[in-house]
């Protein structure tokens, strides 16, 4: 090999030795998967007895008024509407007339009303003659009079505000699975079955 060939070979070898070695491909390591924390499941709360009662009352909106009526099939008068709701939802038999109903429960100031309270009105001269169920926000649901049907009214309307007499709160259970207190049952029984000799 001549001098020039020797130099070429030496340069070629040195160039090979100077190249960086290729790194062996590494396996890709998947990032560690962090399990998302399980969402805490809160058991559904049992609806309050008042929510259930007002829900059923809303379903009866549009049922026509009928004097002496106490059934969604034939119609309601005011006390029949309230009596039906309490009997069908709570198995509580309230006195049949609004006047007798007003003798049950604890009196409540107008500015302390809560949904489910009973509202009593004097629409005729002989005294309490009408009842509805307070829904909140100044509204109540009732069966007003002949030619109308179950509807929601506003307590602050002049007609009802002037005729409002008293509100009563019954000692109801907190949830549907509860039962009315023995005290409430005793009062209702006493009002519904007055002693003999007592005049109405």
CATH value at residue 96: 3.90.1720.10
Residue 86 lies in a domain: yes
Domain membership flag for residue 5 = no
Q: Check if 142 is active-site.
A: yes
Q: What is the pLDDT of residues 79-92, one digit of tens each?
A: 999 999 999 988 88
Any domain includes 179: yes
| Residue 13 included in any domain | no
Residue 198: which pLDDT band, with cuts at 50, 70 and 90?
very low
- Measured between alpha carbons, how far is 53 from 141 in angstroms, rounded to an integer? 11
CA distance 173 to 88: 15
Residue 183 has pLDDT above 50, yes or no: no
Tell me which of 81, 118, 121, 130 is the catalytic residue: 130
Q: In the annotation, is 130 catalytic?
A: yes
Report the pLDDT averaged over residues 106-129.
Answer: 94
More confident residue, 181 or 82: 82
Whether residue 3 is contained in a domain is answered as no
Please indicate, yes or no, whether the overall pTM of this predicted structure exceeds 0.85: no
Is the model more confident about 99 or about 8?
Answer: 99
- In three-state secondary structure terms, 108 is strand
Residue 53 in any domain: the answer is yes
> pLDDT: is 115 or 44 the higher one?
115
Question: Is 154 noted as a catalytic residue in this protein?
Answer: no
């Amino acid at each position: 090999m001549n001098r020039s060939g020797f130099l070429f070979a030496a340069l070629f070898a040195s160039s090979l030795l100077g190249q960086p070695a290729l790194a062996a491909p590494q396996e890709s390591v998947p990032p560690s998967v962090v399990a998302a924390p399980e969402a805490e499941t809160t058991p559904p709360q049992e609806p309050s007895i008042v929510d259930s009662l007002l829900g059923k009352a809303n379903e009866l909106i549009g049922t026509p008024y009928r004097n002496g009526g106490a059934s969604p099939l034939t119609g309601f008068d005011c006390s029949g509407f309230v009596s039906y709701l309490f009997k069908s939802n709570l198995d509580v038999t309230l006195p049949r007339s609004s006047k007798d109903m007003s003798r049950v429960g604890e009196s409540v100031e107008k500015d302390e009303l809560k949904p489910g309270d009973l509202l009593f009105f004097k629409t005729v001269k002989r005294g309490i003659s009408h009842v509805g169920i307070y829904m909140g926000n100044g509204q109540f649901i009732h069966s007003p009079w002949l030619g109308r049907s179950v509807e929601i009214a506003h307590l602050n309307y002049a007609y009802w505000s002037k005729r409002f007499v008293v509100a009563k709160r019954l000692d109801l259970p907190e949830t549907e699975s509860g039962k009315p207190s023995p005290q409430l049952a005793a009062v209702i029984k006493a009002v519904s079955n007055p002693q003999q000799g007592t005049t109405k």
